[in-house]
Amino acid sequence: MREMIKMGEQRSFKDVLRENRRILLAILLLPVIGMVVAIPLIFIRAPQNFAIAGILIIAMLLQYLIVVFFIMHRIDRLTSS
């Protein structure tokens, strides 16, 4: 349960990050949702461009997910220490 913070009391970066971890990760994963939505839209609206666009979107999606997982790992290490 969240503790009430008194006015003027200082919280550390670790505490703030620990409390808001899910919100941060949700914000970081918003582009992934956009890329996943773009794949069927391209397939429906412009199937002739799907091969190139699909490959590019999947490549960017994989790279972005690797970065997000790296950030998640760093957050876990920072908040656990």
- pTM beyond 0.85, yes or no: no
Rounded distance, CA 64 to CA 43, Å? 22
At 4 the pLDDT is 63
At 1 the pLDDT is 47
Domain with 71, as residue range(s), is 24-80
Domain presence at residue 14? no
Domain presence at residue 19? no
Q: What is the dihedral angle through the alpha carbons of 42, 46, 49, 55, rounded to the nearest 10 degrees? A: 20
Domain presence at residue 63? yes
At 55 the pLDDT is 93
Domain presence at residue 57? yes
How does pLDDT run along the chain (81 residues), one tens digit per residue?
A: 456 666 667 888 888 888 888 999 999 999 999 999 999 999 999 999 899 999 999 999 999 999 999 999 998 898 887
Domain presence at residue 64? yes
Q: How many domains does the chain have?
A: 1
Domain presence at residue 47? yes
